[in-house]
A and B are shown apart, each in its own frame.
Chain A
Amino acid sequence: MQLRLSIALAAVVALMSARASADDSFVAKTQIYTDSDHTTVVSPLTALSHNAWQGGTLSASYVADVVSSASIDVVSNATARMNDFRSEITAGLVQKLHNTTLSGSYVYSVENDYQSHNAELGFAQDFFEKNSTLAFGATFSANDVYRTGDQAFHRKLTVGGVSASWTQVLNRATIMQLSYTFSYGNGYWASPYRFVRVETPDFQAIEFKVPETEPNERYRHAAVIGLNRHLFSDTALQGDYRLYLDNWGVQSHTIQLRYFVTWGDVTLRLRERFYYQSGASFFRPHYTASTLQPFVTADRELSTFWSNVAGFKISWRLPWVHRALELEAKVDYFHFGYINFALLASRDGADIEAGLNVIY
């Protein structure tokens, strides 16, 4: 499977490199995620973009996740450490036709116990001398879930979604965007490795464990309002707020601010992101035999918690190398505070990234 992926990627790269034209680009970056819950994920990414014909851009990318984890999720299920490798390949096409932009992409992701096919289509139309843009999108994802060491285990998860956004120039220095996405998923959402502890009434001992079970259907709504404002000199401020709701009872609020300062060829970005969610209606910090319900979960992502991300990114553009070479480095520090997850109170960590972008 890995060999086939590599051959497919090499073919796409060769095809796109055959004839470079204006504003073709190559991106390579690596992100390292590490946290206090003993999880490390190294994610190298490489991407190519090629202007193939008038208004048409082809793109391809490859991402890998090299995972090593002894998180509370892993060790609470009697496994010392898990290692995993995920490959993801993306192919995309964007076609600009005067005031209309059409786009399509396909993403294939595979790991030893999970496989997914994703397709996206997009349509955007500019209005009022490009002061306004209305965009629509549709996504479809088909996933196959397996369990390592259990040949008989196979579940499916299918997700479809639609989105709409409105981007509006408010004045010479301000632009706003409203967007909404809806998705509907049906299938297996739980983890095949996660078991829920059923405890004694005083929570002092574990009586037995049951497999995690979650509803098959999930309706998800997300609405975002964003505002970009150019400030004094070469600085800009971006802010956005997201409201998220689903039929499992999860409700979340996300606020993000990004501040950009540019000095010549160097741009510094400061970032602050705050997130809060209420837990799913069937999530309990403790389950007992007398209170067992049809759906039970030990997933901390379905508990009530908040998180904060703060960090910086520096980009340095070297216009004398090729047509332009840009180097970048990023550090984001994060903290998760779990309010009603019994096995873990908090998680701290960092996302560190380095990369380059060549326009040739």
Chain B
Amino acid sequence: MRALFVVILFSVVATGCARVKPYERELLAKPTMTFQPDPHEDVLDNHMLEAREGAAGGYGSAGGGCGCN
């Protein structure tokens, strides 16, 4: 509950600082500004990395399988 309150408070503060209108989003609309510009590449990358590191999660799907080689 406290975490939810912090998230909501953060969102209100953040949006209060600068609300960008749709017609002001020319730069934000560029493909290079998305967090996952190539999700298929991310699947291959995450699968490779999660098979070779102890950590997992936070960056989207890594597919299935054990990747144990």
A-B contact pairs, 25 of them (CB 8 A): A29-B40, A43-B44, A61-B40, A63-B43, A65-B67, A71-B69, A73-B68, A107-B61, A107-B63, A109-B64, A111-B66, A114-B66, A168-B15, A169-B28, A170-B18, A171-B20, A172-B28, A175-B33, A221-B57, A222-B55, A222-B58, A223-B58, A224-B59, A242-B55, A353-B44
Residues of B within 8 A of A179 (CB): 58
Within 8 Å of chain B (Cβ to Cβ): is A266?
no
Q: Is the CB of A141 within 8 A of B64?
A: yes
B10: nearest residue on chain A (CB-CB)? A166
Determine which of A67, A127, A301 lies in contact with B54 in the assembled complex, contact meaning CB atoms within 8 Å: A301
Contact surface of B with A, Cβ cutoff 8 Å: 7, 10-11, 14-15, 17-22, 24-28, 30-35, 40-41, 43-45, 47-48, 51-59, 61, 63-69
CA distance A277 to B17 in the complex (A): 37
Prevailing SS type, chain A contact patch: strand
CA distance A129 to B17 in the complex (A): 14
Within 8 Å of chain B (Cβ to Cβ): is A158?
no
Q: Is the CB of B44 within 8 A of A172?
A: no
Which 4 A-B pairs give the minimum distances between C-beta atoms? A109-B64, A222-B58, A222-B57, A116-B64
Most chain B C-beta atoms within 10 Å of own C-beta, residue among A116, A167, A248? A116
Within 8 Å of chain B (Cβ to Cβ): is A199?
no
Q: Is the CB of A39 within 8 A of B57?
A: no
Residues of B within 8 A of A45 (CB): 40, 43-44
Number of interface residues of A (CB under 8 A): 92
Residue pairs across A and B with CB atoms within 8 Å: the count is 184
Q: Is the CB of A230 within 8 A of B28?
A: yes
A227: nearest residue on chain B (CB-CB)? B35
Residues of A within 8 A of B68 (CB): 73, 114, 191, 193
CA distance A43 to B62 in the complex (A): 13
Within 8 Å of chain B (Cβ to Cβ): is A145?
yes
Nearest CB in chain B: distance from A142 CB, A? 10
Within 8 Å of chain B (Cβ to Cβ): is A275?
yes
**Which of A2-10, A16-24, A80-88 lies at the interface?**
A80-88
Determine which of B34, B58, B63 lies in contact with A242 in the assembled complex, contact meaning CB atoms within 8 Å: B58
Q: Is the CB of B57 within 8 A of A250?
A: no
Determine which of B26, B40, B54 lies in contact with A252 in the assembled complex, contact meaning CB atoms within 8 Å: B54
Within 8 Å of chain B (Cβ to Cβ): is A312?
no
Nearest CB in chain B: distance from A153 CB, A? 14
Q: Is the CB of B65 within 8 A of A111?
A: yes
Residues of A within 8 A of B55 (CB): 220, 222, 242, 244, 250, 252, 254, 275, 277
Residues of B within 8 A of A262 (CB): 30, 32
Q: Is the CB of A172 within 8 A of B64?
A: no
Nearest CB in chain A: distance from B53 CB, A? 6
Determine which of B7, B25, B61 lies in contact with A172 in the assembled complex, contact meaning CB atoms within 8 Å: B25
